[in-house]
Structure 1
């Protein structure tokens, strides 16, 4: 086993992984189009008020908290490809159900919430199983390139999906948006069905609670994964605290129009795409730990740029802040996913991936901080609170042994072999 990855050879990923990557692009696009179309249809067609749209948003975020861990357990007990096929089929059926109800005039907010909930349950299972499947399809030296391609697809869907979903509803109608989303989801199912997943050793099944404890204990006790999880938890809280006050802050303090707000927020997606495109090159030329640290440090820098707009109220400076916040942290996602895949035993990958997804539960906490601090003291103090959070998450990772890694760790499966 070599200690140094060969960074000179071109990256040629296997056909099975390429099918997974295309499936991921289709699935992520379906998700983003549907998520954008749902509240617009709820307001314009079903006449939902703020309370109803808030309840709808709650329904489509609950699965991340309720089902991430059970999905991780399933991903370690059964074929990950099969789990992803079933999960994506559930999403396709849910989206088709919304489409049929729209066409027949039977759609209600209750049906929208129920089918949206079912659709996101599919999203959660797919998102948990996909990172666990990647190491079975590519070699150790190609993990970073594979994760970069997966994240590039996600960022393209994240950047373009909402705009496409909104445009489809506005130009053609809600049925077209959900029809295209359902078709993309079905395409993801067909691509997944053609992947030949290598047979893996299945350890003896034990009580589900004990298996869940094993996954949590592995992350909590691992010197590399524990600070990564804590950093991600704090980052999610701080970023949503900032996002929660930006629109009123942008309108009131920065004097941005609706178009200006949209363009400023779009810089986040632009930054993600640029970061994903540069990720493989960065991970080949820089020490692995440095690439990991770039995300949290960039997040802190972005928060300082946003604080600077308090004293220099220029929309372009806020746009630069969102660009940096998108470009740096996408390197974090790619590098820490690679790290997680490398240091986790194959039989635990599903549960460890689920714990990572569970960290998304910090988002409501960040939104609550924005509501409390922003509502009580104003947007500017909330920007300072968010910056303090970004500083804390950068300190956590910089004080950890992760930043000392010179190269990507060897994969556990290979080490065992």
Structure 2
């Protein structure tokens, strides 16, 4: 593999990267503060926290592809700014209801669902922007930077949220998240992201079908989609019940719940830091296997806590859930950007978002059904089976055999419209 140049990445990319860090920080604070508010203020149980996970993830399943179509036809910048404003408004709405002592579980569900629409927009727009801002030779560098920033947010966000909730309540934590969203939006206002070259317009359904055909016929993209989908079903089987599981089964406090989720971010930071030296020593395809393997081992550790209810096992599990998958994200995102024509990048990115985030309400919904029928501990056990399946999918695919990142000349042509 060619050694990447060391000259700085473009300033436009740096601006969107810092905005992404603030966005991820706000999201991670909210992901801890909202379920803790539900449990501590509204006395929610495992079924209710699983419903919250469904509300926070369902928009990814429904709206990611429409966002991708908009981005391919225009520029991601408007989507990014509008998404941040929506996230800021919904987080602020929850803060106002808490301040007025008027928060209900229904309102929390509704605002979480609407706010997640903004998260969908950011999640599709950021990876779609990178190939427009960075040369193809620097994609691995750019994605490594984004993942390092995201990993830092995954470390600091949950720890900060747990500490603030313990000291001042969930409302104070959500105030911090709202300010972070506002700062992210300010960074985006003067950002100039190039538009795609004009192309003949066809129906939205036809353009969406083109993106789907391209992904499902591609020997690399197809297993990426399948692996991401299965991984996130398993991940949210655990996430749907983890707060209640940690408090009731493992005897953890809100602060240690935040620390455990922060261990996930610590694993991501270390994984992002290790990605460059590992990519020099390992075949590209091996990098794509490390994430699914790490997820399976992490699920086994969490399942072990069913018999040995130790917070240390939860910490180790979350650490591995961060360490392996960040290597998967850096390598597969770069591969996806390298093999996808510019005219399709928004739709392909949106389909990856559907597989990554759209699978989460499925996992959370399974968490609702399993916890309500059999108890929350069965969610942890079922996740092991799901993580074993995603590892088998990637091992059986063409991904492990890839020796290096393909060049632009190796792209599969875009389907004719």
Q: Give the C-alpha shift of residue 136 in structure 1.
A: 1.0
State the 1:272 CA deviation: 1.7
Partner of 1:208: 204
Picking from 381, 400, 405, the partner of 2:402 is 405
Equivalence for 2:63: 67
Aligned equivalent of 2:176, options 173, 176, 180: 180
The answer as to 2:269 corresponding to 1:273 is: yes
**CA–CA distance in 2 between the matches of 1:171 and 1:311?**
32
Name which of 16, 23, 30 aligns with 1:20.
16
Give the distance between the partners of 1:119 and 1:244, measured in 2 at CA. Answer: 18
The residue number in structure 2 matching 1:79 is: 75
Q: What residue in structure 2 maps to residue 288 of structure 1?
A: 284
Among candidates 3, 8, 25, match of residue 6 of structure 1:
3
Structure 1 distance, partners of 2:88, 2:196, is 28
> How far apart are 1:374 and its partner, in Å?
7.0
Distance in 2, matches of 1:398 and 1:337, equals 18
Quote the residue 1:392 is aligned against: 389
More off after superposition, 267-276 vs 18-27: 267-276
Shift of 1:307: 5.5
Alignment CA distance shift 1:378-1:349 (3 Å):
same
Shift of 1:101: 4.7
- In structure 2, relative to structure 1, the CA distance for the partners of 1:319 and 1:351 (3 Å cut) is same
Aligned to 1:140: 136
Using a 3 Å threshold, how does the CA distance of structure 1 residues 174 and 376 change in structure 2: closer, same or farther? closer
What CA distance in whole angstroms lies between the structure 2 residues aligned with 1:305 and 1:53?
A: 22
Distance in 1 of aligned mates of 2:180 and 2:242: 32
Give the Å deviation of 1:64.
1.4
> Which residue is equivalent to 2:153?
157
Match of 2:363 among 363, 366, 370: 366
1:301 — aligned with what? 297
What is the alpha-carbon distance in structure 1 between the residues aligned to residue 316 and residue 162 of structure 2? 25
Using a 3 Å threshold, how does the CA distance of structure 1 residues 85 and 220 change in structure 2: closer, same or farther?
same
CA distance 1:11–1:381, shift in 2 (3 Å): farther
Report the CA distance between 1:91 and its aligned residue: 1.8
1:231-250 matched pairs, under 5 angstroms: 231-242=227-238
- Aligned partners of 1:35, 1:305: CA distance in 2, in Å? 22
Matched, 1:332 2:328: yes
Answer whether contact 1:345 1:413 (CA < 8 A) is retained: no
Q: Which one has more relative contact order, counting CA pairs under 8 Å at least 6 apart?
A: 2
Distance in 2 of aligned mates of 1:107 and 1:245: 22
Secondary structure of 2:266's partner?
Answer: helix
CA distance in 2, matches of 1:42, 1:308: 27
Task: Give the drift of 1:56.
Answer: 4.4
Contact 2:18 2:184 in 1 (8 A): yes
Counterpart in the other structure of 2:226: 230
Match of 2:251 among 250, 257, 262: 257
* Distance apart, 1:151 and its partner CA: 1.6
Q: Which range is displaced more, 85-94 or 175-184?
A: 175-184
Change (3 A) 1:102 1:135: same
Can you give the 5+ residue segments of structure 2 that lack an aligned partner in the other structure? none
Q: Report the count of equivalent residues.
A: 409
TM-score by length of 2: 0.84
Contact kept, 8 Å, 1:76 with 1:350, in 2: the verdict is yes
CA contact (8 A) 1:271 1:326 kept: yes
Q: What's the offset of the Cα at 1:33? A: 2.2
Q: In 1, are the aligned partners of 2:54 and 2:364 still within 8 Å (CA)? A: no
**Which moved further from structure 2: 18-27 or 363-372?**
363-372
Contact residue 159 and residue 262 of structure 2 kept, 8 A? no
> What secondary structure, in the 3-state scheme, does the structure 1 residue paired with 2:193 have?
coil
Deviation at 1:34, TM superposition (A): 2.9
Cα RMSD (Å) of the superposition? 3.3
